Amino acid sequence: MHYLIFVELNLLRVTSLNVNGLRSAFRKGLHPWMEKHGADVICLQELKAQEADLEPALTDPAPYQGHFHFAQKRATAALGSMCGKRPKRS
């Protein structure tokens, strides 16, 4: 007797990038790359921006939702993540 076993894996694709400036990275094609790459979560380092400096197109590029920790001082590192689905906790 033969059995065919089908297993569907629900893997989570997480990518980490040092963007060296979020605005600069978007000007150089980060958003099309994100769409093509298809990661569930994209972790971003070195944003080099404050919350007031960023427009919604940069903080929540469809289909992602951005979640950030901005630095206290200007021109210092900030961190962020882009999630394809809303996280249960932020």
> pLDDT tens, 17-61?
999 999 999 999 999 999 898 888 999 998 888 888 889 999 999
| Residue 54, SS3 per DSSP | coil
Indicate whether 14 pLDDT > 80: yes
Burial annotation 47-82 (CB, 10 A radius, 16+ → b, else e)? bbbbeeebeeebbebeebbbbbebeeeeeeebebbb
Contacts of 31 (CB under 8 A, 6+ apart): 61
Rg for the chain, CA atoms, rounded: 16
Distance CA 87, CA 83 (A): 7
